[in-house]
Chains A and B, each alone.
Chain A
Amino acid sequence: MNLARRVFWIKLLTILVLMGLWEGLSRSGLFYKGVLPSTWMVVQAIAGELADSGFYHDLGITLLETSVGFVAGAIIALLFALVLGTNAYIRKMIEPYIIAIGGTPKIIFLPILFLIFGLGIESKMAKAALSAFFPIVLSVTSGIVQIPPVLLRVGRGFDLSRWQMLTKIYLPAVTNSLLTGLQLGIAMAIIGVLSAEISYANAGLGYRLIRDADQFKISSVYAIIILIFTVSATINFAIIRLQQRLNRHERSREAADVVLVPVELKRDASTSALQS
């Protein structure tokens, strides 16, 4: 059996074994009735959620809170990263605090966000922004710091304006770190919004989950968790695909450069920039 086929069978068998274990445990009587619903009940609950308009309303609220918060957090993070990445003194001054706060559990800041932004969707957006900010700022700052100095010298050598430096040198050079940061940031934003909704909300998937858990609708809880995991995995997958596409584009552009620009000319351009 070749490797790809073996991998396929391992995946399939693992899923079957896990489902069998689940089914066995649910029928074993080891747990209180309803605590571990059968797989069929969960499938029914998923279908029930998908047929319920309330689910889409809550999904819409969660996606709105996540996307607005994420965009706000990402913009602030990029501005910070630009300053921190291009100014070593300010980086040494502020980065330790960003790293320190970035490693703390953000949920403990929820009371402050509730006090400042209220209990509505604004506080959830703020939580998404806060959660997304740290991975993006750290990833992009590190990306800017790692830009080969020769690229910056080439830019300065060609007397590029600040805007041109940003769009022609910095942005292309940090594409990978930016996408990694955005990927982490969106995952954190989703977690941030859900935790805030669980803590206090009257709409959104986190609220829906905790409401059903409080009402002991366990099948629905499983269904909502599976649906949330699916949404989050889809977003994650989309960003990974985007990253792969950009990387391919970058590679093909580099290959085209190699073909179109004679090596000697490229070397001349970089050495003249270094001299200036």
Chain B
Amino acid sequence: MARAFNSAVKSRRPLVPPALAGLLFLALLLALVEFAVRADIIPRLVVARPSDAIAGLVTLQNRADLRDGFLITFRMTAIAMVLELLVALPLGYFLFRRRDFALAYSGWLAALFAAPVFLLYPLFLVIFGRSEITLIIMGFLPGVIPLIIQVEQGFHGVSSTLINVGRSVGVTAWQNFWKIMIPAAAPSIFTGFRLALIYTLINIIAIEYLVDIGGLGRIVADRYFRFDISGTYTAITAVAAISILFNWLIGRLERWVRPT
């Protein structure tokens, strides 16, 4: 009897699927804000009407060249990511092979991971000026740390059986690294890659916003400094949507590389 009741409860489907309910909830929230702004309950100088912010997405392309902004940010992120991989793969492998160095540096890496590394940007601004090099370095620094940590952990997780099999068939150190270690540690390395990509993107957009150079971050700063309230909200919506899409794509890719 109890089992029958439990299975009935389990099989009971909600009236509205949660994903749809979430969308309806979001729409209701936006409608409430729209009403509050139109009725002057919330001042228009503080919050833009959601309808204006969404409609502005079309005109934002003409006013601030969203596509160009995206391409600039994307290019900076891609260059920083390549540099991160070039540094983190050998360094992570080195830390995996040398336990003494791993023990010496792991605490420092963890502390740096939590530290506000973006504060270093005024120093790089002084050295390299308001240039793309500053953006790339500021994307590289916060991204490379989690990548090194994950690469090292990935190598630690490689089964000793695989390494022993490699040894028994006489693979060279180079073959061992590329044919055994890297493929076996790939899932963990990809987790590090995803983390690094998110940190790199966030920091590049942050510096673009603060220094008013580059791509997506600059567009938000530009609209705000012009006191274009509706344009600011539109730019924020656009940048948030792009980074959400970006994160979603990375998540999908990770699930493909690392099926659970």
**Can you report 13 A-B residue pairs in the complex whose CB atoms are below 8 A from each other?**
A3-B99, A7-B104, A100-B248, A101-B240, A103-B244, A107-B217, A108-B235, A111-B223, A115-B47, A216-B126, A221-B123, A232-B116, A233-B114
Chain A, interface residues (CB within 8 Å), range: 35 or more
A104 touches B122 (CB 8 A): no
Q: Does B27 contact A (CB under 8 A)?
A: no
State the B residues within 8 Å of A (CB): 14, 18-19, 21-22, 25-26, 45-47, 99-101, 103-105, 111, 114-116, 118-120, 122-123, 125-127, 198, 201-203, 205-206, 209-210, 216-217, 220, 223-224, 229, 232-233, 235-236, 239-240, 243-244, 247-248
Q: How far is the CA of A135 from the CA of B185 in the complex (A)?
A: 27
- How far does the alpha carbon of A210 sit from the alpha carbon of B205 in the complex, in Å? 18
CA distance A190 to B119 in the complex (A): 11
Contact A109 B236, CB 8 Å, known A199-B210, A213-B122? yes
- Please, how many angstroms separate the alpha-carbon atoms of A50 and B206 in the complex? 29
Binding site for B on A (CB under 8 A): 3, 6-7, 10-11, 14, 31, 35-36, 89-90, 92-94, 96-97, 100-101, 103-105, 107-112, 114-116, 183, 187, 190-191, 194-195, 198-199, 206, 209-210, 213, 216, 218, 221-222, 225, 228-229, 232-233, 236
Other-chain contact of B198, A10, A93, A103, A218 (Cβ < 8 Å): A103
The 10 closest A-B pairs by CB, nearest first: A92-B18, A213-B122, A111-B224, A10-B104, A103-B247, A93-B22, A105-B202, A105-B205, A93-B18, A100-B244
Q: Give chain B nearest CB distance to A82 CB in angstroms.
A: 18
CA distance A216 to B122 in the complex (A): 10
**Residues of A with C-beta under 8 A to B202:** 104-105, 107
In the complex, what residues of B have CB within 8 A of residue A97's CB? 22, 26
How many Å lie between the Cα of A232 and that of B113 in the bound state? Answer: 11
Cα–Cα, bound, A115→B45 (Å): 8
Contact of B125 among A94, A194, A213, A232 (CB under 8 A): A213
Residue on B nearest A12 in the bound complex, by CB: B104
Report B-chain residues with C-beta under 8 Å of the C-beta of A93.
18-19, 21-22, 25
Bound CA–CA A210/B125 (angstroms): 11
Contact A94 B22 (CB under 8 A): yes
Min CB distance A196 to B, Å, is: 10
B127 near A31 (CB under 8 angstroms)?
yes
Report B-chain residues with C-beta under 8 Å of the C-beta of A183: 114
CA A38 to CA B236, docked complex, whole Å: 41
Contact with A116, one of B46, B232, B236, B239 (Cβ below 8 angstroms): B46
Find out whether the CB atom of B22 lies under 8 angstroms from the CB atom of A195: no
In the complex, how many angstroms separate the beta carbon of B33 from the nearest chain A beta carbon?
12
Distance in Å from the Cβ of B96 to the closest Cβ of chain A?
16
A206 and B118 alpha carbons, distance in the complex (Å): 11
Q: Once the chains are docked, how many angstroms separate the CA of A162 from the CA of B26? A: 30
**A209-B119 in contact given A93-B25, A94-B25 (Cβ < 8 Å):** yes
Contact across chains for B120 and A225 when beta carbons are under 8 A apart: yes
A225–B117 CA distance with the chains assembled, in angstroms: 9
Whether the pair A112, B100 counts as a contact (CB closer than 8 A) is: no
Q: Do residues A218 and B123 form an inter-chain contact, with CB atoms below 8 A?
A: yes
CB distance from A3 to the nearest CB of B (A): 6
- From known contacts A3-B99, A92-B18, A105-B202, infer whether A110 and B104 are also in contact, taking CB-CB under 8 Å: no
In chain B, what residue has the closest Cβ to A96? B22
Q: With A108-B236, A218-B123 known to touch, is A89 a contact of B14 (CB < 8 Å)?
A: yes
User: In the complex, which residues of chain B have a beta carbon less than 8 angstroms from the beta carbon of A195?
Assistant: 118, 206, 210
**In the assembled complex, which residues on chain A have CB atoms less than 8 Å from the CB atom of B235?**
108
| Least distance between B106 CB and chain A CB atoms (Å) | 10
Nearest residue (CB) in A for B99 is A3
Which residue of chain B has the shortest Cβ distance to A114 in the bound complex? Answer: B224
Name which residue of chain B comes closest to A116, CB basis: B46
Q: Is the CB of A229 within 8 A of B116?
A: yes
